[in-house]
Amino acid sequence: MSNIHIKRRLPPLSALPAFEAAARHQSFSRAAQELHLTHGAISRAVAQIEERIGVDLFVRRNRRVYLTTAGQRLFKTATETLNTLNQTVEEIHRHDKASPFLTVSCEPSLAMRWLMPRLGGFHEKYPDLNVDLRMAGSSIDLLSENCDIAIRRTDFGIPEDYHVTLLCEELAGSVCTQDYWEKHSQEDLFNANWLHSRTRPNAWDDWISMSDLEKESPKSEQHFDHFFYALQAAQDKLGVAIGSTPLVSDDLEKQRLIAPLGMEKTGYSYAALTLNNPQQDPRTKAFCDWLREQVNQI
């Protein structure tokens, strides 16, 4: 049998993930949810495979689907094939040290307020290494999102197989402009307008629990969708926000903001997450070493 004949007998490879998900869940709807596709897209993908190989893969009864004998055989092979492909891609990703690109995922507020102002210095030091910066927060799958490094606050579970390079401890405190503090707070934090963010809804409660203050109701409060906006509002003299280092480090140093009641350790840190020890890859080594140089200057 010729190789050409074998290729022509193969079902559409792009349809295999849809079939595998549908077979694993025994449901087109759940497969659609997992792959972020429509129910119709899953049904069409399965139909393409069935048409190519000439047999039914599922029995459809009362809005449910069940694998036929042929479907069970193909499901086993498809699962093994996709797992092998995934492992191969992971190995390629882990060992592609010669690439001139480095993909870095960073929490948006940290990226905008601390990392981006420093990236020009990294490019000057490593002109042949191009950083593709992606802004995202919380947990991350480095492999599926095709990222080399993720910079994260360690307030969530980190996969055990990730290598963690600790960068710095986080400190937090109430921050505002000097002018706002003198005009509105009058040395009393509860006279101020408290600025909240929906991405860190417990920031004020957590900080008060770490300080010696007794909780009272503030004079007024204002809510923003993102931590970055709350910090910007504080800088724009709209009130007092809970700021944390290194996000407000530059603002405190340049006196765009002050922390009149000081900063407290939150118990969290910022870290660089990689698939392997960054020292094994010259690209990740360069970036992680540079990151540690930068945080040591805070």
Give me the pLDDT at residue 6, please: 45
Given a cut of 80, is residue 92 above it in pLDDT?
no
21/163 same-domain check: no
Number of domains into which the chain is organized: 2
- The residue with greater pLDDT, 211 or 204, is 204
**pLDDT reported for residue 83:** 87
Residues 167 and 68 in one domain: no
pLDDT per position as a tens digit, 32-51: 999 989 999 999 999 999 99
C-alpha–C-alpha distance, residues 106 and 288, integer Å: 13
- Does residue 247 surpass a pLDDT of 50? yes
CATH number for the domain harbouring residue 84: 1.10.10.10
Domain that holds residue 158: 99-298
For residues 53 and 169, membership in a common domain is answered with no
In terms of domains, do 17 and 112 share one? Answer: no
> Coil, helix or strand for 155?
coil
Would you say residue 230 has pLDDT above 60? yes
* pLDDT tens by residue, 138-161: 888 888 788 899 999 998 888 888
User: 109 and 91, same structural domain?
Assistant: no
Domain boundary among 95, 125, 144: 95
Q: What is the mean pLDDT of the chain?
A: 89
Say yes or no to pLDDT of 5 above 60.
no
179 and 236 part of one domain = yes
Per the structure block, which two tokens stand in for 9? 């007998």
* Domain harbouring 202, CATH code: 3.40.190.290
Return the pLDDT at 125: 95
Residues 138 and 258 in one domain: yes
- From 296, 287, 298, 243, select the one nearest 151 (Cα to Cα): 287
Cα–Cα distance measured from residue 243 to residue 36, given in angstroms and rounded to the nearest whole number:
36
- Min mean pLDDT across 11-15, 18-22, 222-226 is at 11-15
**CA distances in angstroms from 251 to 76, 119, 177, 191, 257, listed in the order given:** 57, 17, 10, 23, 5
pLDDT digit string (tens) for 255-287?
999 999 999 999 999 999 999 899 988 999 999
- 7: pLDDT strictly greater than 70: no
What digits encode the pLDDT tens for the residues 96-138?
566 788 999 999 999 999 999 999 999 999 998 999 999 988 8
Within 8 A by CB and 6+ apart from 278, the residues are 149, 163, 165, 272, 284, 285, 287, 288
